[in-house]
Chain A
Amino acid sequence: MGEFIVTLLTGLSSAAALFLVASGLSIIFGVTRIVNFAHGSFYMLGAYIGVTAVTAVGGGAVGFWVAILLAAVAVGLIGVAMEILLLRRIYRAPELFQLIATFGVILVIQDVTLWIWGSEDLVGPRAPGFTGAVTILGQRLPEYDLVLIAVSPLVLAGLWLLFNRTRWGTLVRAATLDRQMVSALGVNQRWLFTGVLFLGSALAGLGGAIQLPKGGADLLMDFNIIAAAFVVVVVGGMGSIGGAFLAAILIGLLQTFGIQIFPNSTLILMFLVMAVVLIFRPWGLLGKPEIPGHGVVEAPEAPLRPAGRGLRLAGALVLAVLLLLPVAHLAVPAAVDDFLLVLVIDIMIFVLFAAALHFIMGPGGMVSFGHAAFFGGGAYAAALLVKFAEAPMEIAFWAAPAGAALLAILFGWFCVRLTGVYFAMLTLAFAQIAWSIVFQWGEVTGGDDGILGTWPSDWASSRIAYYYMTVGFVVAGLLALRRMLFAPFGYTLRAGRDSPLRAAAIGIDIKRHQWIAFTISGAFAGLAGALFVYSKGSVFPTEMEIARSFDALLMVLLGGVHSLTGPIVGATALTWLNDLFSELSYWRFLLGATIIALVLLLPDGLAGLGDTWLARRLGLAAPASGSGANGQETPA
């Protein structure tokens, strides 16, 4: 009994930081519709700044709490800086484009933190007056846990007063319901957004600082909390503070009890709960369905046109370079070395992966946050067949797209019922469930050690042979995806995205169509996974991680979601940049800063540049978007 009560209290105390971070995330999303991935970084900064502030102010009975509040305010100001310098410039960009910007911020903050505070974990200062433990029915509980338990309701009450008893709070609630209406009433949105960013970021900073006596500060905090915070926000209902409170307690308890009951499946539990909630209550426990048609009005996409001459020429040129590269490698090994071939193979694999994601994201309007499930799922399908059946490459290779497609059929059946951010979150949940299974089911998947020994058959085992095989599959894959988009299938997919109302009124079963598209996309992601697993000779759970899903997302968004060339350009640029920076110290900072710069300079994505500036410059008269993949082919 005592053990139960102490576990319960521990769960409640661990919900505190979760609630603070999630409520901030929820407030920011509610008003600005920005999914702030950098929110975990603000939490981490809160912890680090808290440590410094306690040292500076002195950890006395008053000093400690002053320092914590200072940390929260400092993080709030960092959030304001992000809003003014970055987000404010891209509110008019396509939906979710701000995501990339916040990705960039994550990377920059990681390296800045590393640079200022070093790589060692910091031990948190202890809270004066709460350093001991209380004994409950023979079980000991740190006194500070009781402080944390009290914090959430206090903050909840404070927020309630702020939102219900002040003019500013009323405006925030109104903007959460209908942003257009609030702006039509003459409210200056800029300062509303800035204020919301301050409040939301400060809450995250407070969360990071207040958990210091319990958890200290380390460089993994950002990613460790962000997934859980998203789960809390989604389970509670986007934009609902009360929902975040309930969900934080639910998830907090789930984690502490989960460790005791299912020590081997703690990771899966949280995402399982999120999946179940989204399936039965698509808008979360206390969330409300979004008012349709009152989001950001985007400029319509231009009609799809067959590749123009210029793009076809460019595509042919790229293909020629790809085909001749190994020849150059044999002729001048010094200039075109082995590493370059490996890099180009990697680039091609990610181009296919990104194109597969773009297939549903661009024409389908379905943003998946969990596409690594199919990339990694495909890779694991092949690797498992090798491990347990010693299947040769010719057979195992095909298991990848098939396995990924099966997974997509299963996940897709649930996911296509939702739209927008909720769809994205459910894909994330399923991807995390798949990842947890792979990670924690060591006997079958090898867990963290992965599966080794997936090498190509003899005929494809030389670098050059495998290179050509990759070129063949990737080019064929891209052409097939492109072909489908120009076929009635792709038109129907776009119809469902452009106007669900009209699509249904001309007999299109949108959900079923999206389900099929999701499956096709999964199969092609799996094919990329197959190419990957045989090029590396091994596969690890990292291929199914959130980070891998975000890579693909970043490639598509960075390339430009409204262009068929987008994923190709984006994947190439990002893989190349990753490789370029990876040897440098502070490569994250460089990559993050580059991403932020690209976002600010090219709000339509990299392909937007190719389609407009370059095209105009060269007089190719390519249409504004939807033009040409790698363009060797015009379906006619």
Chain B
Amino acid sequence: MTALLEVDRLSKAFGGVRAVQDVSFAVNPGELLALIGPNGAGKTTCFNMLMGQIRPDHGAILLKGRDIAGLPPHRIWRLGVGRTFQITATFSSMTVRENVQMALISHRNAGRRLWRPAAGTETAQADALLDRVGMAEQGDRACSVLAYGDLKRVELAIALANDPDLLLMDEPTAGMAPRERIELMRLADEIVAERKIGVLFTEHDMDVVFAHAHRIMVLNRGELIAEGTPEAVRANEQVREIYLGSSVEAGQA
């Protein structure tokens, strides 16, 4: 089986600092792959290269066999990659529904239509997506007034609008209350199972990582130091030493 995403020796340096060095991995359809590591390990740099915000120095990023390294973000999205951000990014002057409509309109390549009002387009699909993430009742509210946990759900709905094969989630539960975290990750689990999406996510909360990830990669100082099932990573001596420490116990709890 060919992997959905294959990353081969991806590298990026800022000045003399090697932020990401020769990182290689693969994501399969229907798989939740966690990328963890201490602050400054290169997780966000890695993510930004995958999504086109940063151009890699070298290395290949193969999406369904096609090299997407160096493409701009909007092109990468069109190839079937959805994204949620560590700090939510939504359109504050639009309602919840309009935010999702906007993504759907873009998906249909209709963003340059000048005449027919946007209000009536893609409403049914937008509502269906909002319903899927449990935000159906709040469709008419302005995005700027939502609770943070709800914003994260809206982001998820937006990210699903182009029916992605791959979903990149940068700290999906950052800034959320414990209860919201559990609910959001359960939602992610369900969606992955339903749609056979491959998900790559970073996360600081080890409970979330060990409870939900199918596989875990550990990044330290720009290099991959371990990769495997949660059990294998938990047992890895190097990981314990460098990074996890007492969190492993928390993860087992």
Contact = CB atoms under 8 A, between A and B. Distances in A.
A487 B113 contact: yes
Contacts of A329: none
A306 B118 CA distance: 11
15 contacts: A302-B142, A303-B93, A303-B94, A486-B117, A492-B102, A492-B112, A502-B158, A505-B89, A507-B74, A507-B162, A508-B111, A509-B74, A635-B119, A636-B117, A636-B120
Interface stretch (A36-44, A52-60, A493-501): A493-501
A177 B110 CA distance: 40
A487 B73 contact: no
Contact of B106 (A483, A508, A636): A508
Contacts of B116: 487-488
B117 A487 contact: yes
A506 B93 contact: no
B93 A502 contact: no
Contacts of B125: none
Contact of B102 (A486, A487, A491, A497): A491
Interface of A: 300-304, 306, 483-484, 486-492, 494-495, 497-499, 501-510, 513, 516, 626, 635-636
Interface hub of B73, B75, B113, B161 (most chain A Cβ within 10 A):
B73
Contacts of B101: 491
Contact of A506 (B92, B94, B102, B120): B102
A563 B57 CA distance: 45
A636 B92 CA distance: 23
Contacts of B121: 488
A486 B119 CA distance: 8
A332 to B, nearest CB: 42
Given A303-B94, A507-B107, A486 B118 contact: yes
B210 interface: no
B90 interface: yes
B115 A494 contact: no
Contacts of B110: 488
A505 B51 contact: yes
A218 B156 CA distance: 62
A498 B94 contact: yes
A498 B92 contact: yes
Interface in B84-136: 85, 89-95, 98, 101-103, 105-107, 110-121
A508 B103 CA distance: 9
B83 interface: yes
Interface centre among A300, A306, A504, A508 (most CB of B within 10 A): A504
Contacts of A510: 74
A501 B111 contact: no
B78 interface: yes
A489 B72 CA distance: 21
A488 B83 contact: no
Contact of A502 (B72, B85, B112, B113): B85
Nearest to B158: A506
B88 to A, nearest CB: 9
B112 A506 contact: no
A509 to B, nearest CB: 5
B53 to A, nearest CB: 8
Nearest to B96: A303
Contacts of A304: 93-94
Given A302-B142, A502-B90, A507 B77 contact: yes
B169 to A, nearest CB: 12
B229 interface: no
B117 A635 contact: yes
Contact of A495 (B78, B102, B114): B102
Nearest to B141: A303
A489 B91 CA distance: 15
B162 A303 contact: no
Contacts of A495: 91, 94, 102
Contact of B92 (A301, A486, A489): A301
B119 A488 contact: no
Given A501-B85, A507-B77, A489 B93 contact: no
Contacts of B85: 501-502, 505
Interface string B39-53: 000000000000111
Contact of B103 (A490, A494, A506): A506
A636 B119 CA distance: 8
A499 B74 contact: no
Given A498-B94, A499-B89, A506 B118 contact: no
B144 interface: yes
Contacts of B113: 487-489
A300 B92 contact: yes
Nearest to A486: B117
A302 B93 contact: yes
Nearest to A504: B73
Greatest chain B CB density within 10 A among A483, A488, A499, A502 is at A488
* Residue among B53, B95, B115 with most chain A CB within 10 A: B115
Contacts of A507: 74-75, 77-78, 103, 106-107, 162
A491 B158 contact: no
Nearest to B117: A635
A419 to B, nearest CB: 16
Nearest to B89: A502
Which among B53, B74, B90 has the highest number of chain A CB atoms within 10 Å? B74
10 closest Cβ contacts across the A-B interface? A300-B92, A300-B144, A502-B89, A635-B117, A504-B73, A301-B93, A492-B111, A498-B91, A507-B77, A506-B103
Contacts of A303: 93-95, 98, 142
A84 B38 CA distance: 48
Contacts of A494: 91, 93-94
B142 A487 contact: no
Contacts of A501: 85, 89
Contacts of B120: 636
A526 to B, nearest CB: 17
A140 B113 CA distance: 66
Contacts of B106: 492, 506-508
Q: Which of A483, A505, A508, A510 has the most CB of B within 10 A?
A: A505
Contacts of A492: 102, 105-106, 111-112
A507 B73 CA distance: 7
B115 A487 contact: yes
A506 B115 contact: no
Given A487-B117, A487-B118, 14 more contacts: A488-B112, A491-B98, A492-B105, A492-B111, A495-B94, A498-B94, A499-B91, A504-B77, A505-B82, A506-B103, A506-B107, A506-B161, A508-B111, A636-B117
B213 to A, nearest CB: 23
Contact of B112 (A301, A306, A505, A516): A516
Contacts of A497: 93
A446 to B, nearest CB: 37
A483 B91 contact: no
Contacts of B94: 303-304, 491, 494-495, 498
B60 to A, nearest CB: 22
Nearest to A636: B117
A481 to B, nearest CB: 10
**Most-contacted residue by chain A among B72, B78, B111 (CB, 10 A):** B111
Nearest to A483: B115
Contacts of B92: 300-301, 498-499
Interface in B187-220: none
Interface centre among B52, B77, B114, B142 (most CB of A within 10 A): B114
Contacts of A508: 74, 106, 111
Contacts of A499: 89-92
Contact of A487 (B52, B82, B98, B114): B114
* Most chain B beta carbons < 10 A, residue from A303, A495, A497, A503: A303
A506 B90 contact: no
Interface in B135-175: 142, 144, 158-159, 161-162
Contacts of B112: 488-489, 492, 513, 516
